[in-house]
Amino acid sequence: MSSDLSALLSATFYEEGYDHLLEPVHQRDAAARRHLASLDVTLYDAEGKPLGAVTVDPRQEVLDLASLVHEHVTAPGRVMAVFDARYDERIFPYRPHHYAYLHRRGSPVPSLYYAVRAALGGVPDRIGATSLNNFENYLFRRRNFAERYSLLLGNLSRFSAAEAQVFTYYRGARLTQEVALGPKAHVEVPLEGRRDGQPLERVELKAVFGLASYVVGRRAAGGDLVLFDHLFPYFK
Amino acid sequence: MNVTPESGELDSLLLCYCTNLTIGDLREACRARRWPLPGKERTGKLCTGCMGDLLYCLRCFGADEQL
C-alpha cells in the first residue's frame, strides 16, 4: 500500500439489540463517487481479545455493524469495533470522519446519529490542530434527560496499557475514578447522575494518550440509549 | 498482542497514523541511532493516540525514551 496515503483509525462500541449502521467516509458529487482507499474492521471483546477481522470494500457506503459482529460472535456483549482506513488526502483534504446510526430494535426512543470517534491520525499535523485529545470534557444540560450516564472507553494501543482519570462535577463537588485498560480493552464507566441532590454538570477525561471515548446516556427504564456522543478537547 | 516489536514481524504496521511512521521505520532509525528521523519529530505528539506504543517500542529498540 502506498505510504502516500493518509491514515485514520476510528472506533465505536456495538451493543446487542441495536441496529448500528456505519457510513464510512465517502462523498458523492456530480462527477464521481469518492471513497476510501481501504477499510479494515477488527472487533475486540472487553478484555481486548480479537473476535474477528474483515477487510471491507471501501466503495461500500453503508456498513451493517450488527451483521458484521454477528458473523464473528454468537452472543456478543459490548464489542469495540476498530476501523483502520487509508485515504488519499487529495480526495479528502479535510479531517474526515465516519458517521453512524444507532437505534434499539423495536424501541420508541428516537434514533441517534453520531460522528465516529477518530482516535489516531486524520492528519491533525496538516490541518494545524493544536488541541490535545487526551484531555477532554463534556458538558451536560442543566436539566438532565437521561437517567443513567456513563463513559465508554477503549484503549487502541497494540502494546501499551492505558491509565485514565474520570472526573465528574456537581456544583462544586468533584468525584474521581481511576481506570486502567490493557491493549484493545474497553470498559463502561458509570457516572453518578446526581450527587447530594446536585445534578451532573460536567465530565472530564484525562489520559496519558488519546483513547476511544464516548459519553453515553440511557433511560433508567429499559436502558435504551438516548445519548451517544464523543467528548470534546478541553483546550481550544 | 503476543508478537513483540523486536521480532520484526510487525515492521510493516503503522505506528503513528499522523506521520505515517511504521514500526520498521522506527526500528531501523533506532538501530542506526538516527531517531527522531527528519520529518517524524512530531510522532506521538499530534493526536497522541500512539504515544504509549511509541514509548514501548523505543524501550524495546533500546533508544532513549525522549519524544
Reported ipTM: the value is 0.91
C-alpha cell at A223: 436502558
CB-CB contact of A201 with A141 (8 Å)? no
Give the residue among A73, A2, A76, A62 at the shortest CA–CA distance from A28. Answer: A62
Q: What is the pLDDT along chain A (236 residues), one digit of tens a residue?
A: 445 899 999 999 999 999 999 999 998 888 788 899 999 999 999 999 999 999 999 999 999 999 999 999 988 889 999 999 999 988 887 778 899 999 999 999 999 999 999 989 876 555 555 555 678 899 998 877 778 999 999 999 999 999 999 999 999 899 999 999 999 999 999 999 999 999 999 999 999 898 999 999 999 888 999 999 999 876 54
CB atoms near residue A205 (< 10 Å):
24
Say yes or no for a CB contact (<8 Å) between A208 and B50: no
CB-CB contact of A204 with A211 (8 Å)? no
The domain segmentation of chain A, as residue ranges, is: 5-118, 124-233
* Phi and psi torsions of B41, nearest 5°: -65, -25
The DSSP bridge pattern shows strands A173-181 and A212-218 to be: unpaired
Say yes or no for a CB contact (<8 Å) between A159 and B42: no
Q: What is the CA radius of gyration of chain A?
A: 18
pTM of the shown model = 0.92
CB-CB contact of A231 with A216 (8 Å)? no
User: Residues of A with CB below 8 A from B1's CB?
Assistant: 158-159, 183
For cell 520529518, the residue is B39
Find the CB nearest A125 among B42, B55, B56. Answer: B42
Q: What is the CA radius of gyration of chain B?
A: 11
Give the chain B residue nearest A85 (alpha carbons): B17
Which CATH code is given to the segment(s) A124-233? 2.60.290.11
Which helix (H) or strand (E) element contains residue A181? strand A173-181
Give the chain A residue nearest B39 (alpha carbons): A125
Give the residue among A192, A195, A167 at the shortest CA–CA distance from A179. Answer: A167
Which CATH code is given to the segment(s) A5-118? 2.60.290
CB-CB contact of A164 with A200 (8 Å)? no
